[in-house]
Structure 1
């Protein structure tokens, strides 16, 4: 086996070892979008082809010689090739910066190749959040990175590194430009993770911007609702969740009932519980704790109808329970069961490609 590995081409061997390195780096980190949603799978496949075909080191040395002459231009094919063979070292990063500078200074109006998203995928792969942030927000590169997908990849990388303030800064940078729904959802999640009065204020300003232009994703609506609930603002939570037209979703139904429980509006909660019984609907585990807290505050007697309905929902397992045992945790992982609102929000999103 060892002999077989030694006989592999060096570029392919580097690719394999770098893959193990990235697997180690990502252990314990949470992403919001899957690699497929950000086209990172296609990028990685293209890296395999570029690494195996040709000699990356020879190409890099050739480009360094070419760049010594300031009159030489950088072709999009050469830049694209470098982006698919670049490694995480100072020499390669320096070469990329130089090529991007030269390419940006050229007249590239005839080229329809979008370089910005590819640069961000390369930096995402190399795990370089600060470098990606610096490049994308540099005013002189505005035209190079002027694509919504570019910033979606950027904020996803920042989010993975828990750079939540920087995620908000990117939105402020983009506020008066077209912003993709992917970016909005990640900014919402960053605000949720920060969970401060300031992040809620920022999120509500973004919410106003978004609602004036388009319909937000359901995940974004639920995330901002959860943030409002965490900040003890159930009125705001109800106003946000009202923008969902489909209340059959377990996350939407649960957050609505949680807000009503916080407001002690158990008459409306009873209506929802009855509907759930009649339609075999389900709730996240947070509903149970929110409801019990409201019952204690209102000092409801055991014979109250709403308590009996709640008990029936529990018997039917219509309200998910918190996992308290190792066996339950294992079952949850394999069955992909969402038990809490936080777990639902934190689940990576996969965006299917359209034909």
Structure 2
């Protein structure tokens, strides 16, 4: 099965299927089978679409002599007299197949350690190489390069961190994500100890693990961030709060969303659920009622999940307060009549794929992000999560 077929399934169709890499010439074949995989950041958000465009162009240029070029690069990495130049590595990264990964790892190491006397460009390789690893679905090789002391500073870009963490997340390599995140914090690239996209990914890992230890890690990270004045983005807050709910800590969930606007569907449902599970049935009802009192524009639906309504119903019943029970029934009927209760779950929404439009890819190989040019319905859906 070709690498293009594999990634057509993985990236283009986004159907949550992973195909393990085909055989490599230097070792035994890997079995090809299907497993479920949960993507967090979309390929567009990670700039992989730009990598694929460049990859197609370079492969077209090398169509008749790619094997000769590979042979030459194998000779170069094995000969101390020869150098790996910028164009050599750029071309190899864009024609790479799974069987080339060992060669590329060696090329990166040699390129990064050889003399910089003959380097006149300012191309930053880290993000492009990480996109290659992501495209080839090669987390082990990505980690090998990331940790190699010979590659010091090679991957010191915030987007490279995001790409690596996202690749590990796709493979449920959560323990490895924690280790990588500790390195990220120590490096503090751009004077940033807690890069927002990396924070989202590490809290996503905590949420997926759903253990007492992962909640302790997330709580400690949260405290460290807030102590230095760092405000996590909404998706990070949602992961932390949803984890707290799963671990029976509604008070932590409420604190996690305290800095977020309450009109977002994730935040609204987390708040009502946390209040209900915290034996604050009257406050939970107030959260439900607030939606009915909104003077919302036509077509705007401020919904609650069925599971949220169920949590509030249980809290009201446990209160043994007849007035609260009658009020709940009135509110539930009004929400139903207006079509404001849906069967989506908090887990589905908080784990949904994040799409951030790529504005442009700079000449230094670093991708910047822009959301304004998304189609309106995509912007609206993302902004309401």
* Structure 2 length-normalised TM: 0.78
Are 1:298 and 2:314 an aligned pair? Answer: no
Name the counterpart of 1:35: 43
Residue 20 of structure 1: how far off its partner (Å): 5.2
Describe the shift of the 1:60–1:21 C-alpha distance in structure 2 as closer, same or farther (beyond 3 A): farther
Alignment of 1:1-355 (within 5 A): 16-17=4-5, 19=7, 25=18, 28-54=36-62, 55-89=65-99, 92-108=100-116, 110-176=120-186, 177=188, 178=192, 179-211=194-226, 212-244=228-260, 246-279=261-294, 281-301=302-322, 304-320=326-342, 322=343, 339-354=344-359
Q: Distance in 2 between matches of 1:340 and 1:80?
A: 44
Range 247-256 or range 306-315, more displaced:
306-315
Residue 51 of structure 1: how far off its partner (Å): 1.2
Describe the shift of the 1:110–1:52 C-alpha distance in structure 2 as closer, same or farther (beyond 3 A): closer
Range 128-137 or range 230-239, more displaced:
128-137
Question: Is the strand fraction higher in 1 or 2?
Answer: 2
Q: Distance in 2 between matches of 1:236 and 1:16?
A: 45
Question: Is the helix fraction higher in 1 or 2?
Answer: 1
Task: Encode CA deviations 1:86-143: one digit per residue, 9 max, x unaligned.
Answer: 1111xx1221122112111124475421111111111111111111122112333221
Q: Distance in 1 between matches of 2:195 and 2:133?
A: 20
Q: Is contact 2:109-2:150 (8 Å) kept?
A: no
Describe the shift of the 1:239–1:14 C-alpha distance in structure 2 as closer, same or farther (beyond 3 A): closer
Q: Distance in 2 between matches of 1:15 and 1:52?
A: 16
Q: Distance in 1 between matches of 2:90 and 2:229?
A: 34
Residue 68 of structure 1: how far off its partner (Å): 3.6
Q: Distance in 1 between matches of 2:233 and 2:120?
A: 35
Residue 213 of structure 1: how far off its partner (Å): 4.8
What SS class does the counterpart of residue 107 from structure 2 fall into?
helix
Q: Is contact 2:112-2:151 (8 Å) kept?
A: yes
Describe the shift of the 1:267–1:258 C-alpha distance in structure 2 as closer, same or farther (beyond 3 A): same
- RMSD after superposition: 2.2
Describe the shift of the 1:149–1:213 C-alpha distance in structure 2 as closer, same or farther (beyond 3 A): farther
Task: Encode CA deviations 1:208-246: one digit per residue, 9 max, x unaligned.
Answer: 2333253211111111100011111111111111011x2
Q: Distance in 2 between matches of 1:251 and 1:238?
A: 12
Describe the shift of the 1:196–1:18 C-alpha distance in structure 2 as closer, same or farther (beyond 3 A): closer
What SS class does the counterpart of residue 354 from structure 2 fall into?
coil
Counting matched residue pairs gives 323
Q: Is contact 1:251-1:283 (8 Å) kept?
A: no
Task: Encode CA deviations 1:152-203: one digit per residue, 9 max, x unaligned.
Answer: 0011011111111211221122222234211111111110011011000101
Describe the shift of the 1:225–1:85 C-alpha distance in structure 2 as closer, same or farther (beyond 3 A): same
Describe the shift of the 1:346–1:21 C-alpha distance in structure 2 as closer, same or farther (beyond 3 A): closer
Q: Is contact 1:116-1:147 (8 Å) kept?
A: yes
Structure 1: gaps (5+ residues): 1-12, 323-338
Q: Distance in 2 between matches of 1:132 and 1:192?
A: 23
Q: Distance in 2 between matches of 1:287 and 1:241?
A: 16
What SS class does the counterpart of residue 275 from structure 2 fall into?
helix
Q: Distance in 2 between matches of 1:20 and 1:252?
A: 34
What SS class does the counterpart of residue 84 from structure 1 fall into?
helix
Q: Distance in 2 between matches of 1:287 and 1:299?
A: 19
Name the counterpart of 1:332: none
Q: Distance in 2 between matches of 1:79 and 1:239?
A: 48
Task: Encode CA deviations 1:43-80: one digit per residue, 9 max, x unaligned.
Answer: 11111111111222121112223334302211111101
